[in-house]
Amino acid sequence: MLKSSMFNLAILILALGAVLWIAPTALAQHQDDSHATTDQHADDPHTAASHAEDTGVHGTDAHGADAHGAEHSNIPHMANLVAFLSPFLPAVVGDNLAAFVDPFFSLIVIILLAWLFVGVSKNLSARNPGRLQMGVEMLIGGLYGLFHTVIGPSARRYTPFLGSLFIFIWINNLFGLLPLGHSATSSFATTTFALGLMTFCYVQFYALRLNGIGGYLHHMAGSPRTGMDWGFSILLFPLHLLGELIKPVSLSLRLFGNIFGEDTLVATMVILGYILMNLIPGTESISGFLPGVPLQVPFYFLGLLSCTIQALVFTLLATVYIALWLPHGDHDEEHGH
């Protein structure tokens, strides 16, 4: 028992050391290299002139916001595994891998989750469940209880999708806090918008399946019953339609903005801590190997809370969207009428 506790403590110390050493040093050196490259281009008039000519020749298509903006962006970001491995890979492989950094880390999360849940499913035991099985059962049971509170008895049908949505977003958010990790959910174009669009398609599919085309259109018109209601439905229908189209965008922007801001805040604290360490007299010769003042550590604890809350908010909103489209019979059954 004592050996196991000492081993767990050693692992925790090594993980904390990696956070305080690898990530800040890699980020600071990456920022120094970027500024050095920028200064070199600024000091060399021939380079600046040729760059201007290239820009004029190729136009905005060759120097788009994704490639050119990512290269010269002043927004700080933590150095991830792809940026760490790129110098050791062929140029073509490194460039392509950097262009697909968000799908790369999403794929890593999917593989890890599939390996975990498939492994648990193969070793299920009703009499002697292990700690891992109990933890997974508590997670799934807690999520089902939450969905049942919002949706009602039919929550079991939607739990696989909503539970997978929460776990995927949650683990992706937490990946940005790991050394050399990256939160794929900090990208709107490649991750969060895709999640919002997928949720939108899922909700609309079940809305049409459960209500039919007539019931779907009737719900979009505000479920009118009287003549006055039908008169207002002419105004309510386009408003409800616009609201349905806005939902995936609002879901995506909320998740993207919070995770992107969290990652930027941590990276900013890392750079500030590195700068403060360099201000100490006598550290000029070894400044490249110093981790810096760990100003980012308090924000890691804040990030743990924020990552969980944002995954929960996204999933809860998706749950509410489903509940709003349920036929009235399901709601009556939920309340015992």
pLDDT reported for residue 55: 42
pLDDT reported for residue 159: 95
H-helix or E-strand spanning residue 258: helix 227-278
Residue 53 has pLDDT above 70, yes or no: no
pLDDT digits (tens, 9 = 90+) for 194-237: 999 999 999 999 999 999 999 999 888 888 888 887 888 888 88
Spans of all domains in the chain: 104-334
pLDDT reported for residue 288: 55
Quickly state the pLDDT bin for 12 (edges 50, 70, 90).
low
Tokens coding 4 = 């196991």
pLDDT digits (tens, 9 = 90+) for 91-126: 888 888 888 999 999 999 999 999 999 988 888 888
How much is the average pLDDT of 186-193?
92
Tokens coding 54 = 């290239």
pTM recorded for the entire structure: 0.78
Find tokens 């085309």 and name the residue.
213
CA 23 to chain CA centroid, Å, is 19
| Alpha helix (H) residue ranges in 73-154 | 81-85, 91-99, 101-122, 131-151
Of the given ranges (83-87, 98-102, 187-191), which has the lowest mean pLDDT?
83-87
Residues in the chain: 337
Residue 335 has pLDDT above 80, yes or no: no
Contact of 66 with 45, CB cutoff 8 Å: no
pLDDT digits (tens, 9 = 90+) for 262-286: 988 888 888 888 777 777 666 555 5
pLDDT reported for residue 128: 83
pLDDT digits (tens, 9 = 90+) for 133-156: 899 999 999 999 999 999 998 999
Quickly state the pLDDT bin for 183 (edges 50, 70, 90).
very high
